[in-house]
Amino acid sequence: MTRFLDRHEAGRMLALVLTRYAGRDDVVVLALPRGGVPVGYEVSRALGAPLDILVIRKLGVPGREELAMGAVASGGVRVVNRDVIASFGISQASLDAAAASHAREVEELESDCRGDARELEVRGMTCIVVDDGLATGATMRAGVAALRRRAAGSVVTAVPVASREACALVAEDADDFVCLMRPPTFLAVGEWYVDFSQVGADEVRSLLARARIATARDAAA
């Protein structure tokens, strides 16, 4: 399988299979920061849809952080996995403490990336959630659940590359799922990019600002 040159190329290629959502006034693109933002920027421009970020922080089980007992997301949304909480006997106090700590991280990252810009309304909208790839799919699944809580009309998940296990799980949760590459052997998202440089907050702010300008220009045309 051919690797993507960088996240921007991956976003342009992803947009080619999302054309059914182009030119609609009920579509928004939500990118998971920071790596998903360059991908989401290209998708938003190709579809003529507004771009925003969707910040998700997984709540790991104490001592087994890779296992999600829930997540907190943009908009103050908390998603919990009751089965995991019951299996590990996690107290409400422990859950609340973890959620409060991660909620602060969400707020800080949102402020760092979005600045003073207003959060896009998702109620009743078709939300295309974009990331640069999926390893386990846990964060994306939490994002879908968070958008359901915020009364999104429908949720589309779209990524350039993902493990086959993540694809199966995320596809169950979303109303539509798009993935360009599903390698039989998957170790990490970065192995499928020639350039997988870290995306900084400055780059995120710049891309969001450029997307807002483009959206305003399109609306005025």
What is the C-alpha radius of gyration for the chain, rounded to an integer number of angstroms?
A: 17
Among 67, 96, 112, identify where a domain stops: 112
Same-domain check for residues 45 and 79: no
Residues 6+ apart with CB under 8 A from 216: none
pLDDT at 71: 83
CATH number of the CATH domain containing 183: 3.40.50.2020
What is the Cα–Cα distance from 56 to 142, expressed in whole angstroms? 7
Residue 1, domain member (yes or no): no
How much is the pTM? Answer: 0.89
pLDDT at 34: 93
What is the Cα–Cα distance from 189 to 43, expressed in whole angstroms? 19
What is the Cα–Cα distance from 203 to 20, expressed in whole angstroms? 28
Same-domain check for residues 106 and 202: no
Domain count, the chain: 2
Same-domain check for residues 124 and 183: yes
Q: What is the pLDDT along the chain (221 residues), one digit of tens a residue?
A: 789 999 999 999 999 999 999 999 999 999 999 999 999 999 999 999 999 999 988 888 888 876 778 888 877 788 888 888 998 999 999 888 888 888 888 888 888 888 878 889 999 999 999 999 998 888 898 899 989 999 999 999 999 999 999 999 899 999 999 999 999 999 999 999 999 999 999 999 999 999 999 988 887 77
Question: 169 to each of 4, 46, 165, 166, how far by Cα in Å?
Answer: 24, 27, 6, 5
Domain that holds residue 107: 58-112
